[in-house]
Amino acid sequence: MPTYEYECLKCRRVFEIRQRISEPALTACDVCGGEVRRLLSAAPFILKGGGWYVTDYPSESRKQALKSEKSSEKSSDKSSEKTPEKSSDKPADKPASKGTDGSTSASVPAAPPTKSD
Q: What is the pLDDT of residues 74-95, one digit of tens each?
A: 666 655 555 555 545 555 555 5
Using one digit for the tens of pLDDT, what is the confidence trace for 97-117?
555 555 555 566 666 777 765
Determine the average pLDDT of the residues in 54-59: 62
Confidence of residue 44 (pLDDT cuts 50, 70, 90): confident
DSSP state of 101: T
Residues 6+ apart with CB under 8 A from 105: 96, 97, 98, 99
Q: Look up the pTM and report it.
A: 0.38
Determine the average pLDDT of the residues in 33-61: 75
Cα angle, residue 27 at apex, residues 21 and 28 outer, rounded to 5°: 130
